[in-house]
Amino acid sequence: MKKYIYIFKTTLIDNLQYVFNLVCGFIGFFIMIFIFLNLWKYVYSDPNELINGYNLNQMIWYAIVTEIIYKLSSNKVVSTELIKDIKNGNIAYNLNKPYNYIMYVMSRFYGNALVITIIGVVIGCLTGILFVGPLDGFRFVSIPFFAIVAFLGITISALIYLIIAMLSFFMEDSHPFNWIYKKVLIVLGILFPVEFFPKAIQPIIKMSPVYVVTYGPAVLLINFNMDMFWKILLAQGIYLVVLVLIVSLVYRKGVKKLNVNGG
């Protein structure tokens, strides 16, 4: 375990040297929220009007929270670097190191995500307060519960990215699946809460990764209640067990295929 903590610390220190670059990366985030603000101002004739249970303030904060979670979960360590390592053969070099390669990738992922989290929370809060003021009905008691499900949410998303990346063991390029997953998160998990979709497809969305990665944590912060927390936690627990098993299976088969082909 010490070796993975060391990898985490090393990645964290490396990222702290490029904080300004990471801050600049949130320029697109600010523009996106500004676009959302103007879109929803057009939809809401009255800021206090409720549409599917959300007022304008809550909709903007929903967009802010989900956008930060999306940015955290899709950082390059799991979304692109692993695919490159497999395609250019660097994975063979890393497999000979005295650590589990998946644990190595996840340690780097968390080291990267911690810096982005701190920057994202600061910029996100400032953006929300600047545009629509403090979150309506916010309760400080919700913070630790939100932190738990948000952490599990980005972990689940990272595991999904790992599975997609490891498909490169068996095909020429898995980037298209990466692109599809990102667009699903954006369309179903950021643009609109689940309540805005037709009732017929809401149960399907709630069974998808969107519910446990973006929608669930954001809604828990906006409208906190313990029943919702336990529902999200249960769903995340199921996802984690299933995804860890799939990651282990795909990784073993991928490494075996690499060894057979002389990797």
Give the pLDDT confidence of 160-181 residue by residue, as tens digits: 999 998 888 887 778 888 888 9
Q: Please report the pLDDT score of residue 113 as a whole number.
A: 87
- For residues 248, 254, 255, 261, the Cα torsion angle rounded to the nearest 10 degrees is 170
Q: How many CB atoms lie within 10 A of CB 240?
A: 15
Flag whether pLDDT at 15 surpasses 80. no
Going from N- to C-terminal start, the domains of the chain cover: 2-260
Reported for 127-131, long-range contacts at CB under 8 A and 24+ positions apart, including other chains, are: 127/29, 127/30, 127/33, 127/64, 128/33, 128/60, 128/61, 128/64, 131/33, 131/34, 131/37, 131/60
Helices (H), the chain: 2-16, 19-24, 27-43, 56-73, 76, 82-88, 90-95, 101-132, 142-166, 175-186, 202-207, 209-210, 216-222, 226-260
Share of the chain above pLDDT 90, in %: 28
Flag whether pLDDT at 262 surpasses 60. no
Q: Please report the pLDDT score of residue 261 as a whole number.
A: 57
- Please compute the mean of the pLDDT values over residues 125-152 and round it to a whole number: 91
Band of pLDDT at residue 244, cut at 50, 70 and 90: very high
Flag whether pLDDT at 96 surpasses 60. yes
Q: Please report the pLDDT score of residue 152 as a whole number.
A: 95
Beta carbons of 240 and 155 less than 8 angstroms apart: yes
pTM of the complete model: 0.91
Q: Please report the pLDDT score of residue 188 as a whole number.
A: 87
Flag whether pLDDT at 260 surpasses 70. no
CA–CA gap between residue 226 and residue 224 (Å, rounded):
7
Write down the mean pLDDT value for the chain. 86
- Please compute the mean of the pLDDT values over residues 76-101 and round it to a whole number: 76
Q: Please report the pLDDT score of residue 159 as a whole number.
A: 94
30 vs 110, more confident: 110
Q: What angle do CA 6, 92, 1 make, to 5 degrees?
A: 25
Flag whether pLDDT at 247 surpasses 60. yes
Residue 54: helix, strand or coil by DSSP?
Answer: strand
Lowest mean pLDDT among 22-26, 100-104, 234-238: 22-26
- Please compute the mean of the pLDDT values over residues 133-147 and round it to a whole number: 90
- Please compute the mean of the pLDDT values over residues 90-110 and round it to a whole number: 80
Flag whether pLDDT at 147 surpasses 80. yes
Which residue, chain included where needed, has tokens 């996106």? 32
233 vs 53, more confident: 233
Amino acid identity for residue 135 in this structure? L
Flag whether pLDDT at 263 surpasses 60. no
Beta carbons of 120 and 64 less than 8 angstroms apart: no
